[in-house]
Amino acid sequence: MVELPQKATYWSILLEDEFGNITYGVPVSLNSRWEEVFEEIIDPGGHTVVSKTKVFTSIEVAVKGFLFKGESVVTDPTTLVDAQEIIAFSSITDLRNVDKLYTARL
């Protein structure tokens, strides 16, 4: 199991209207581990993009949601300078299918 010693705050998307305006869910505190690493990845739309940060999380998160390193009670993550949009997400289980590791790319 990967150690997740850092706290993070996650905002999910509750609603996206036809104009692209997004309403975010309440901030959720979670355990995480952040790695500052530049990697080329394929986003869900099939485009090659550069991810600057890899975040291992204790829960599933969704693309277009936001993650912030640390704890926050701010309701709109776009107002936080260091909050970053999730551009890709994946999960993998261990060989015994007991533990799951979640990874977000920012």
Residue 1 has pLDDT above 80, yes or no: no
* Span 43-69, average pLDDT: 94
What is the pTM assigned to this prediction?
A: 0.90
Separation of alpha carbons 24 and 6, rounded Å: 23
* Span 82-98, average pLDDT: 89
pLDDT per residue as tens digits for the range 60-78: 999 999 999 999 999 999 9
Q: Burial of 58 by CB count in 10 Å (0-12 exposed, 13-18 middle, 19+ buried)?
A: middle
Residue 44 has pLDDT above 90, yes or no: no
* Span 35-49, average pLDDT: 91
DSSP lists the bridge partners of residue 68 as 9
Instruction: Output the pLDDT for position 14.
Output: 94
